[in-house]
A and B are shown apart, each in its own frame.
Chain A
Amino acid sequence: MVVKKLNRLANRFLQMLITLIGVSFLTFCLAYLAPGDPVAMLLESADTIVSEETLQKTREELGLDKPFIVQYGNWVVGILHGDMGMSYSAKKPVFEKLSEGFVGTLLLAFTTIIFVLIISLPLGIWSAVNQNKWQDYLVRFFSFIGVSMPNFWLGLILLYIFGLKLGWFPIASSTVTLNGVILPAVTLAIYQSTKYVRQVRTVILDELHQDYVIGARARGLSESRILWRHILPNAVLPLITLLGMSIGWLLGGVAVIEMVFSWPGIGNMAVRAIMMRDYPLIEGFVLWIAIAYMFINFLVDLSYTYLDPKLRKGAAQ
């Protein structure tokens, strides 16, 4: 049994490793094939006329004159030594730049998740309990609207109303502040909640039709007791998977919202890195997202085994 479990774990890590290599290789290929010379960009941004000689020298210094495969190989060797290279534009180690952006992104992700739970759990439950009544239709209507609304537009509108007109929140945050995180988090939370509300509703509806609910009703338990004590604990599991997926998404896919609110997060940094052709930083970013995403998925799976008694038993046998 233990061997089998270890085997599964090993398989999983192998798959992760293949994904990491594949994704980083793809980004590397693109960077190599792409038009635009990072060295010229780097030196010309200093507003001086650059001679071909200097360009060549810098290329050699950065290892950009070597063949493609050698460059990739060097990068992988560096990663294995814990060295992600130097950012061209910031002249700092990539790791340092990533950690700076990570603080903002983590705070944003965390705040968003809290808002998502506050919005979607009550609405989803409310909608499921009143299935096919006006409450249900109302919630589903809003959920539909939210799904069709581009989140960067929603962000701009919230920024316009609450930042500019009412002045409750800063229009742009150059540093990580609690006040600055609210608007981007609310934007992301509204967008995510529209999906969550549907999922919560489906999950609760599924549970509502189970035999144990009929049994509980037959025993004369009150509806609220059935909901809180019997249905919700059962509904937690599928919701955790969703939550895990959305944390992964939040850690990487929110560049657009970070741009709208000038939030100093990792996505904002990545967009700037792409514009500056700062390849080491882009590589580092993609790698970081891949690792974070897979790690969280792995944690979600792990939590499954611990939270679901059926799986726990199955693993023990």
Chain B
Amino acid sequence: MEFIKSHKLFSFYTLLVIMVLFVAIFAPYLAPQDPYDGNMRNVLQTPSAEHLLGTDKLGRDTFSRIIAGTQVSLFMTICLVILLAIVGCVVGIASGYFGGKIEMFLMRLADMMLSFPGVVLAIAIAGILGGSIANTIIALLIVGWAKYARLVRSLVIKLRNNDFIVAAQVNGTKTINILRRHILPNVLPMVVITGAMDIGTMMMEIAGLSFLGFGAQPPTPEWGLMLNEGRQYIQTAPWLMIYPGMAIFIVVAIFNLWGDALRDVLDPRQEN
């Protein structure tokens, strides 16, 4: 209770995030109609009481598809951010703690990824591998890990020479235990903050790849893909491109606000 009182904004945004998560988890029960099941008699209907946001080219209910899309988008994004954090931690700790040749190799690799516009490479990778949910995540993982690895490495280097680490080493603690008990817990908060602030961006990049046709494939109800399909009916059925985009916008905005607030709570030093 004390926490909620002293962090009103953060609590409010957290509530919004929980609501989005709720929609994502219970999407199959919340959607009024089957997001996959079309009815050819209801093709491209304008929004009405029965179909709140209209229907698409196969007569599927747009509102239900957007709700189902919450699950797909959120699942992909959260998978991606968690994988980014894991790869970043492993690579960053390996190169920061052990140094030497491993560090040089990994950091050269990271520099390479950072000195190149990631979106281009992500498009190329996802496109060449062929559009699928897994390949989208792989593509964005290949492009994005370097930022996390750099961050973790710089934190580990700062930690490495602290007394408590040296003490653990002198006591003969196993290296794996030092890494697990002493290094990782000290690195994690920053990684969580960075990950939380990246959720919105990653969600947009995933939607962008799907929009190009290199992400989720039909008939998956994914927002980017829905926008792509709706694009062809911009003249006759504009609701098909307006509402999925609005869904992306709202959810991304919520996560951006939440990420910023989380940073302020966990790391008060960075507050302007």
Q: Residues of A with Cβ closer than 8 Å to B?
A: 15-16, 18-19, 22-23, 26-27, 30-31, 34-36, 144-145, 147-150, 152-153, 156-157, 159-160, 164, 248-249, 252-253, 255-256, 259-260, 270-271, 274-275, 277, 282, 285-286, 289-290, 293-294, 297
Contact = CB atoms under 8 A, between A and B. Distances in A.
Question: Mostly helix, strand, loop or mixed at chain B's interface?
Answer: helix
A34 B117 contact: no
Contacts of A22: 109, 112
A290 B116 contact: yes
11 contacts: A36-B130, A147-B200, A149-B252, A150-B224, A152-B227, A153-B241, A164-B235, A249-B119, A270-B120, A282-B128, A294-B115
Contact of A23 (B112, B204, B212, B234): B112
B245 A150 contact: yes
A310 to B, nearest CB: 25
B112 A30 contact: no
Contact of B212 (A253, A259, A290, A297): A259
Given A23-B116, A253-B119, A293-B117, A271 B127 contact: yes
Contacts of B212: 255-256, 259, 271
Given A153-B248, A270-B123, A274-B127, A147 B256 contact: yes
A225 to B, nearest CB: 28
A22 B146 CA distance: 14
Contacts of B119: 249, 252-253, 255
Contact of B121 (A15, A152, A275, A286): A286
B193 to A, nearest CB: 17
Contact of A297 (B115, B123, B128): B115
B127 A275 contact: yes
B231 interface: yes
Interface in B105-140: 108-109, 111-112, 115-117, 119-121, 123-125, 127-130
A95 to B, nearest CB: 18
A211 B28 CA distance: 61
A157 B242 contact: yes
Kindly list the 4 A-B residue pairs having the minimum CB-CB distance in the complex, ordered from nearest.
A153-B245, A274-B127, A148-B253, A253-B119
B116 A293 contact: yes
Given A148-B252, A274-B214, A289-B116, 5 more contacts: A156-B241, A156-B245, A252-B120, A282-B128, A289-B117
Interface of A is mostly: helix
A159 B241 CA distance: 11
Contacts of A294: 115
A157 B240 CA distance: 11
Contact of B120 (A18, A30, A153, A255): A255
Contacts of B112: 18-19, 22-23
A156 B127 contact: no
B124 A282 contact: yes
B94 to A, nearest CB: 19
Contacts of A36: 130
Interface string B247-264: 011001100110000000
Interface in B210-244: 211-214, 224, 227, 231, 234-235, 238, 241-242
A290 B256 CA distance: 30
B108 A18 contact: yes
A283 to B, nearest CB: 9
B195 interface: no
A148 B231 CA distance: 20
A255 B245 contact: no
B208 interface: yes
B207 interface: yes
Given A30-B128, A293-B116, A15 B111 contact: yes
B9 to A, nearest CB: 14
B245 A289 contact: no
Q: Which of B112, B124, B227, B246 has the largest count of A CB atoms less than 10 A from its CB?
A: B124
A148 B111 contact: no
A284 to B, nearest CB: 11
Interface in B30-75: none
A30 B125 contact: yes
Contacts of A157: 241-242, 245
